[in-house]
């Protein structure tokens, strides 16, 4: 019998699943005689139904390492439909395939394949463990009213996630208008992560078109223009977002009184007043009066969330005295730094035109330090089963956690320790924050859209970052408060940077662009090295410890290349046979002793010798794509992350055995970094926390 919870196959006489200990119910569990769909999928149970079909949880009996064993299969049933209904069902199916197949975002399910039989269309996609937002709201309904409002903080968290995915959709070329944002089309995992589902009526924005071809939408959530008056735009989705936020705050179903929203009358501090004003603007009948973009709504939700709830650090086991405010890098200092920046020399690069920016940083505001600690709280208590003799030790997160930083309001994508291990820089896509690891003071913050962080040189004087404006990349070196020395700023006529890496000698910065990898001389502003020529060439960059070699990984092509930067010659190239979509998210890191490259072209971690250029060992777990990777300073251990449940693993490089697993996070971890003194690991990701913990081996 196949478990409906995890898909594992069990002997027929078992009453509980050997893999996940879920109770086996013979009335709902498929057995080996159940016919396979498309000769590979065994349907386990129905998990949903729609107007033209149903959604099933299924086991992929031929799942390779790059595919999950459990999937969701969306079935469109053409049998018994009228000709018009068959046209609508087919159009809906193809629309969803065409749109979702090319989208990759943390809040969207992945599509793996689609197929047909004479009476059905089938779509195979990620199985999302959880419930719809509508079911979540009904669970907390009051009495028999069926209403359930949510706390303001939870509403803001939901709104921020939806803004992130709407921003992603609206910035595609052409823009994608979802058109059906409502609780039944939002899946919520047990840890609060959201997924947009059902792209059946989504469409591309068509410049110049006066109105949508067919009026579609869900009453109460659909903007007035979706009823055939005008063409739907990103503002139409923002109207639906406003209707949803109103429902979450009031408990009222907007479908019961479309286009009429009762005043929320949220009494209290600045946060609740501001949130009511935002919702009112979102549901304005006139689309021109709504916010211009999901990014604008996100920024306001972030501001509302931060008022009275600024950066918080958890210090186990008891709260410490609140630290004092710390000065930040001032605008006056920024202007002085720009005036002192050296003028760039003419470049010999065939692709690069350099110039020094003469004005202030466009789009960046160096804001005041994040407020001192407002509150202390312990991470949620989690119980783990006793480990087996062959498994990594799983521990209570509070046992090894040293600090938890809550200053970010978006998923954190990168981390960097200062050389003395006293500071850590953490970045999401719209801000970089630097804070003291011992006391938790935020001493620097840089806000900008599409900001990228590159860490410190060995002397720790400057923090490297980059941001994108008007299709150009500006690379910035900033002396932090208390540091002396000149900074630098160069605006390069290059596409958006994807990765930055400071050379070990502190004289150069490698920049991964969409097609090439460039090396910038920070003293002169000259591009001294350019290689690449393939899309997505610089997804991940790493220098050899002696600064002679630069390795990079192309996620689109699953290709690893190593170049001698001085001689400008390629010394090694390797292309994985894993399909392109599996390569996305991989990384490459050079060991501190210079002897190895750790490379993650697929679920396993490959360790390559830098003398023989052969794989010396392969470590990791099948089925888990590694997103983040870091070496210990002694080159004997690796820390990796990629689990959707937030688990971080520590590995023994010598024999490939797991030494330790840290489970303090509640969602996917996207960045890890080992402190230079070897005492701590920092990890961060989708749950927006940065956690510092001791990498014990037991």
Q: Which residues are catalytic?
A: 180
Structure-token pair, residue 86 = 């068959």
Name the strands in the sheet holding 549-554, side by side, starting at the edge strand that comes first in the sequence: 540-543, 549-554, 559-564, 569-575
User: What DSSP designation does 120 have?
Assistant: E
Q: For residue 83, what is the enclosing H or E element?
A: helix 83-100
Residues 6+ apart with CB under 8 A from 619: 604, 605, 607, 638, 651, 653, 656, 657
Length reported for the chain: 698
Q: Between the CA of residue 646 and those of 295, 320, 522, 670, what are the distances in Å?
A: 26, 27, 37, 9
The answer to whether the bond into 174 is cis (omega within 30° of 0) is yes
Q: For residue 176, what is the enclosing H or E element?
A: strand 176-177
Any idea which residue has 């995890």 for tokens?
6
* CA gap 509, 18 in Å, rounded: 51
* CA gap 22, 406 in Å, rounded: 35
User: What DSSP designation does 365 have?
Assistant: B
* CA gap 328, 483 in Å, rounded: 12
List, as one string, the DSSP characters of 459-511: T--EEEEEEEETTEEEEEEEEPTT--S--EEEEES-----EEEE-TTSSEEEE
Any idea which residue has 């994108």 for tokens?
468
3 state DSSP class of 58: strand
User: What DSSP designation does 558 have?
Assistant: T
Listed as own residue / partner, the contacts of 271-274 with beta carbons closer than 8 Å and 24 or more positions apart are 271/152, 271/304, 271/305, 271/307, 271/308, 272/152, 274/300, 274/303, 274/304, 274/307
- Tell me how crowded residue 17 is: count the other CB atoms within 10 A of its CB: 21
- Residue 215 CA from chain centroid, whole number: 34
Query: Using an 8 Å Cβ cutoff, are 675 and 385 in contact?
Result: no
* CA gap 155, 275 in Å, rounded: 10
Looking only at the bridges linking them, the beta strands covering 499-502 and 186-188 are unpaired
């Amino acid at each position: 019998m196949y478990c409906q919870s995890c898909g594992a196959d069990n002997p027929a006489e078992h009453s509980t699943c050997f893999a996940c200990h879920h109770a086996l119910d013979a009335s709902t569990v498929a057995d080996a005689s159940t016919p396979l769909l498309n000769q590979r999928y065994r349907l386990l149970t129905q998990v949903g139904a729609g107007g033209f079909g149903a959604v099933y949880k299924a086991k992929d009996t031929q799942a390779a390492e790059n595919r999950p064993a459990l999937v969701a299969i969306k079935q469109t049933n053409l049998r018994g439909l009228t000709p018009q209904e068959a046209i609508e069902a087919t159009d809906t199916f193809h629309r969803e395939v065409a749109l979702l197949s090319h989208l990759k975002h943390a809040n969207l399910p992945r599509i793996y394949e689609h197929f047909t039989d004479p009476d059905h269309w089938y779509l195979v996609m990620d199985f999302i463990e959880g419930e719809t937002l509508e079911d979540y709201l009904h669970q907390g309904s009051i009495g028999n009213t069926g209403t359930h409002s949510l706390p303001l903080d939870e509403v803001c968290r939901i709104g921020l996630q939806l803004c992130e995915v709407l921003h992603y959709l609206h910035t595609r070329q052409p823009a994608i208008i979802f058109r059906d944002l409502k609780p039944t089309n939002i899946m919520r995992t047990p840890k609060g992560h959201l997924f947009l589902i059902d792209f059946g009526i989504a469409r591309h924005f068509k410049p110049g078109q006066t109105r949508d071809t067919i009026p579609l939408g869900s009453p109460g959530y659909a903007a007035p223009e979706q009823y055939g008056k005008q063409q739907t735009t990103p503002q139409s989705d923002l109207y639906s977002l406003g209707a949803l936020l109103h429902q979450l705050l009031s408990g009222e179903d907007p479908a019961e009184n479309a286009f009429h929203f009762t005043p929320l009358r949220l009494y209290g501090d600045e946060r609740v007043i501001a949130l009511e004003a935002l919702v009112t603007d979102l549901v304005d009948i006139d689309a021109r009066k709504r916010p211009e973009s999901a990014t604008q709504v996100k920024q306001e939700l972030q501001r509302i969330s931060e008022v009275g709830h600024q950066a918080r650090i958890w210090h186990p086991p008891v709260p410490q005295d609140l630290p004092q405010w710390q000065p930040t890098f001032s605008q006056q200092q920024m202007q002085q730094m720009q005036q002192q920046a050296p003028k760039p020399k003419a470049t010999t690069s065939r692709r690069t035109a350099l110039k020094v920016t003469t004005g202030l940083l466009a789009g960046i505001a160096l804001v005041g330090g994040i407020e001192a600690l407002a509150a202390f709280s312990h991470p949620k208590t989690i119980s783990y089963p006793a480990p087996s003799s062959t498994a990594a030790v799983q521990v209570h997160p509070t046992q090894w956690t040293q600090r938890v930083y809550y200053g970010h309001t978006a998923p954190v994508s990168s981390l960097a320790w200062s050389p003395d291990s006293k500071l850590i820089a953490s970045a999401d896509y719209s801000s970089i924050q630097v804070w003291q690891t011992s006391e938790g003071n935020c001493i620097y913050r840089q806000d900008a859209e599409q900001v990228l962080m590159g860490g410190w040189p060995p002397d720790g004087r400057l923090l490297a970052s980059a941001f994108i404006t008007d299709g150009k990349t500006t690379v910035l070196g900033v002396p932090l408060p208390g540091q002396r020395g000149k900074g630098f700023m160069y605006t390069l006529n290059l596409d958006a940077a994807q990765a930055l890496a400071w050379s070990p000698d502190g004289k150069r910065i490698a920049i991964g662009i969409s097609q090439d990898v460039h090396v910038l001389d920070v003293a002169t502003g000259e591009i001294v090295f350019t290689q690449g020529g393939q899309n997505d060439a610089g997804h991940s960059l790493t220098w050899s410890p002696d600064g002679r070699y630069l390795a990079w990984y192309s996620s689109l092509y699953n290709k690893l290349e190593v170049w001698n930067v001085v001689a400008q010659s390629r010394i090694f190239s390797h292309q994985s046979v894993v399909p392109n979509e599996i390569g996305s998210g991989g990384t490459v890191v050079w060991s501190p002793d210079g002897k190895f490259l750790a490379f993650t072209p697929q679920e396993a971690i490959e360790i390559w010798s830098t003398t023989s250029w052969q794989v010396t060992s392969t470590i990791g777990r099948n089925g888990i794509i590694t997103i983040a990777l870091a070496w210990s300073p002694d080159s004997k251990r690796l820390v990796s992350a990629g689990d959707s449940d937030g688990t971080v693993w520590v590995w023994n490089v010598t024999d490939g055995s797991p030494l330790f697993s840290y489970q303090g996070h509640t969602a996917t971890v996207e960045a890890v970094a080992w402190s230079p003194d070897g005492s701590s690991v920092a990890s961060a990701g989708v749950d927006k926390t940065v956690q510092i913990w001791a990498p014990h081996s037991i």
